[in-house]
Structure 1
Amino acid sequence: MSEMPPLQRSRVASRMTGRAPLLPVLHVDNPEHSEPLLEALVSSGVTTLEVTLRSECALEVIARMKAMNSGAIIGAGTITQPEQVQRVADAGVAFAVSPALTPRLIDAIDRAELPFVPGVSTPTEALLAREAGFFELKLFPADLVGGIAWVKHVLPLYPDLKFCPTGGTGEANLRDYLALPNIFAVGGAFMSPRDLIAAGDWKEIAARAMRAVELLQH
């Protein structure tokens, strides 16, 4: 009989203890926006974030944010190729996020020893991820696969799994998601959408992040 994989391979939820359970997904096309964007989020109480690799300057953005020494927990998202794993690990991210999970990604994560949150969208994918040792999962695209109802349905099936829904999340359902025991964070671009980042509207981004944090306090 083969040995079970190590538990809690992802180890992201524990890093967020005592912080707002929010995970803004940041698509940054201009590296000059790195510092003011991070400052807008951190000043509003959001200190865990995901820089998506959908832009060509993502690694530079991560490096510039890391250099600020703000205390923020900076992760990399949209990991879809095994070779990306070592690149973001070398950039110093605290964790990585993917919309899916494959054996090659698992091998790359094990080599890099990087906390990793794989994406799932079905109960089968969630079970496969758990068997691979991942107990913190991204539910994506949450709005298309059932959202809050999906999370409620899988709770009795996999009570040891925790989810971070992304896709269709926002102020309207933030509190409902976080009221569920198997949610460790809510992710998405609703606090800092790509158009506001491109426009350099740090005031509006800070306001959106602050409203999200305040929703969690009521």
Structure 2
Amino acid sequence: MLDVSPVMPVVVVDDVADAVPVARALLAGGIRVIELTLRTPAALAAIEKVASEVPEIVVGAGTVTSPAQARQAVDVGARFLVTPGCTDRLLEAVSGTGLPFLPGAATVSEAMRLAEHGVREMKFFPAEPSGGAAYLKAIAGPLPQLRFCPTGGITVESAPRYLALSTVGCVGGTWLTPKDLVAAKDFERITVLAKEAAELG
């Protein structure tokens, strides 16, 4: 899951009509994955639209915080799941879907607990407030077998610091699809940002 693209766009969609144009804009810029977060009422319908109309992009559901959301995401065609943190109940639910998933962890203990359940790839969130690239570099010593997708406060400028680490497969970023560009339907600018992000790999 971490090798599809150097940057995984973390996208919040308020209007279902924007989902497909955003996905196509990212794809035109060389980004082949999109995480649509379940933070708005439009999210599930947006995932369904992208899954059916832009099959070339790997669409996933982010901000999955309950077993019910995990089931709903599967039903609308999500191809992977991302959680901000992970309780035992949520871990059981997302793993039970059969989809690839990135459970969230912010501490060494949380990462170790997920590893005990066989998880080797996870989300590091919130990345910048939790210590950033320096933190991940430090824990690579005791936990070299784990790989991360850091998300939270990362920018196009800071992303290379994370991507240089052996334990980072990709980074998650909201900077590719800022709310103002989506609201203005400036999809050409999103394609430009996607091209810049794709080149980070």
TM bracket, shorter-chain basis:
over 0.9
Q: Cα RMSD (Å) of the superposition?
A: 1.2
In the other structure, the counterpart of 1:176 is: 161
Length-normalised TM-score, structure 1: 0.88
In the superposition, the TM-score normalised over structure 2's length comes to: 0.96
Query: CA–CA distance in 1 between the matches of 2:22 and 2:185?
Result: 8
Residue 36 (structure 1) aligned with residue 21 (structure 2): yes
Which of 119, 127, 132 is equivalent to 1:142? 127
Following TM superposition, by how much is the alpha carbon of 1:136 offset from its aligned partner in structure 2, in angstroms?
A: 0.7
Q: Is the 8 A contact 2:106 2:127 kept in 1?
A: yes
Q: Deviations over 1:15-63 (max 9, x none)?
A: x3xx432100010000111121111100000011100000101111011
User: Sequence identity of aligned pairs in percent?
Assistant: 38
The letter for the 2-side match of 1:176 is: R
Which position in structure 2 is the counterpart of 1:9? none
1:91-110 Cα offsets, whole Å, 9 max, x none, are 12111000000011122123
Counterpart in the other structure of 2:99: 114
Equivalent residues of 1:28, 1:198 under 8 A apart:
no
| Aligned position for 2:58 | 73
Cα shift at 1:215: 3.4
Q: Determine if the alignment matches structure 1 residue 48 to structure 2 residue 33.
A: yes
Pair 1:125-2:110 in alignment? yes
8 Å contact kept, 2:23–2:54: no
Give, in whole Å, the separation in 2 of the partners of 1:179 and 1:110: 29
Any idea what the Cα deviations from partners look like across 1:183-218, whole Å, max 9, x if unmatched? Answer: 0111020111222212211121111111112233xx
- Bigger CA drift: 28-37 or 104-113? 104-113
Deviates more, 1:188-197 or 1:134-143: 188-197
Offset at residue 155 of structure 1 (A)? 0.4
Q: Distance in 2 between matches of 1:98 and 1:199?
A: 29
Counterpart-to-counterpart distance in 2, 1:34 and 1:125: 33
Q: Is the 8 A contact 1:143 1:169 kept in 2?
A: yes
Q: Distance in 1 between matches of 2:39 and 2:170?
A: 22
Q: Which segments of structure 1 move beyond 4 Å, counting only runs of 4 or more?
A: none
